[in-house]
């Protein structure tokens, strides 16, 4: 309203002069015997140092995260998780120099893990076999009416040289394929008793590439070739980049670092090609070489994937 002035914000708390005398009335006295006690303002709690943190504070004294010894052993390719549990149960594992014999033992991620000589000897006895798989054999679990590739590991099918160890039935114990090669494909298939080899070839963090020669029918332009190299998805999941190139008028060379089910055949279908023949010729640094079709040999000590 015009002509009126706003009172100061603290006017209600300020003593007012008497209109009659012009003097400020005396301050009202408070009887401390009957007045409620004064309360100190609440204090903010300091950040906790141990126990459950509050207010977003970090528990600076919390122990470092630990991990199962068996998991750590598998991650370092010392052995498989199954073998790690077996070695721990037998007292063949040392963590920072101390023997571990209880399953489920945890340690820091940086712990030094060593194996007893008996565990090392056990690993040395594990065999890895290279097979030139023919068409018509399945690499994994047999389906009704199908023959598993491991059935070909027989003494009469061994490809031997002068320094090759002889077949012994013990090499079949626990032998399993490390990776797949479908029933219509041929070439190098690895079967192993060694969990370290299996993890190296098919583990989630595997960096081992695999080379295939693929005969195809159909037309493939530059765009289709580019898609084969990088740009396709299977099962709503993008494929890792591959290396794909022409070798001749009807044959492509594929180098992959993953092994989805029937991956190459499905990739070719997506760009209008039909696969007539597929052969795996290399896994990592190990080649199929002159190993005859349907025969097998042991992985040599000087060979590494």
Q: Is residue 48 part of a domain?
A: no
218-219-223 Cα angle (round to 5)? 135
The CATH number assigned to the domain holding 276 equals 3.30.70.1560
276 & 304 share domain: no
Q: Is residue 10 part of a domain?
A: no
pLDDT digit string, tens, across residues 58-113: 455 555 689 999 999 988 888 888 889 999 999 999 999 999 999 999 999 999 99
Our answer to whether residue 86 is catalytic in this structure is: no
Total tally of structural domains belonging to the chain: 3
Print the domain residue range for 271. Answer: 209-283
190 & 221 share domain: no
List the catalytic residue out of 83, 85, 182, 194: 182
- What is the C-alpha radius of gyration for the chain, rounded to an integer number of angstroms? 37
153 & 195 share domain: yes
82 & 107 share domain: yes
Q: Is residue 5 part of a domain?
A: no
* Euclidean distance between CA atoms 241 and 258, whole angstroms: 10
Lowest mean pLDDT among 26-40, 162-176, 188-202, 204-218: 26-40
Q: Is residue 192 part of a domain?
A: yes
Contact 121, 94 (CB under 8 A): no
Q: Is residue 110 part of a domain?
A: yes
Q: Is residue 40 part of a domain?
A: no
pLDDT digit string, tens, across residues 249-266: 999 999 999 988 899 999
136 & 194 share domain: yes
Residue 9: predicted pLDDT = 44
The CATH number assigned to the domain holding 73 equals 3.10.290.10
The CATH number assigned to the domain holding 151 equals 3.30.70.580
147 & 277 share domain: no
Beta bridge partners of 67: 107
The closest alpha carbon to 129, from 290, 280, 286, belongs to: 286
- For 115, the token pair is 């194996």
pLDDT digit string, tens, across residues 154-199: 999 999 887 888 898 999 998 999 999 999 999 999 999 998 898 8
Q: Is residue 83 part of a domain?
A: yes
Could you tell me what percent of the chain has a pLDDT over 90?
A: 60
| CA pseudo-torsion sign 117, 118, 120, 121 | positive
Could you tell me what percent of the chain has a pLDDT over 70?
A: 79
Q: Is residue 42 part of a domain?
A: no
131 & 191 share domain: yes
């Amino acid at each position: 309203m015009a002509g009126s002035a706003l009172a100061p914000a603290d006017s209600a708390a300020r003593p007012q002069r008497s209109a009659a005398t012009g003097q400020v009335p005396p301050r009202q006295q408070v009887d401390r015997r009957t007045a409620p006690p004064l309360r100190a303002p609440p204090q903010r709690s300091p950040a906790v140092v141990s126990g459950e943190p509050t207010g977003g504070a970090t528990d600076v004294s919390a122990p470092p995260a630990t991990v199962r010894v068996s998991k750590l052993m598998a991650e370092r390719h010392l052995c498989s998780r199954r073998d790690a549990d077996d070695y721990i149960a037998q007292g063949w594992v040392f963590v920072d120099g101390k023997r571990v014999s209880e399953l489920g033992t945890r340690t820091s991620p940086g712990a030094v893990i060593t194996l007893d000589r008996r565990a090392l000897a056990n690993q040395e006895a594990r065999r890895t076999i290279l097979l030139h798989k023919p068409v018509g054999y399945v690499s994994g679990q047999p389906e009704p009416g199908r023959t598993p590739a491991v059935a070909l590991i027989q003494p009469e099918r061994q490809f031997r040289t002068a320094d090759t160890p002889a077949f012994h039935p013990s090499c079949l114990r626990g032998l399993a394929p490390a990776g797949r090669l479908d029933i219509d494909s041929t070439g190098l298939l690895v079967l192993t008793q060694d969990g370290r080899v299996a993890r190296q070839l098919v583990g989630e963090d595997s960096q081992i590439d695999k080379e295939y020669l693929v005969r195809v029918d159909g037309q493939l332009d530059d765009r289709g070739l580019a898609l084969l190299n990088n740009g396709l998805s299977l099962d709503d999941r993008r494929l890792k980049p591959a290396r794909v190139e022409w070798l001749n008028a009807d044959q492509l060379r594929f180098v992959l670092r993953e092994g989805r089910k029937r991956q190459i055949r499905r990739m070719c279908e997506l760009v209008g090609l039909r696969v007539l023949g597929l052969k795996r010729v290399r896994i990592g640094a190990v080649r199929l070489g002159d190993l005859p079709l349907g025969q097998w040999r042991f992985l040599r000590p000087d060979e590494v994937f």
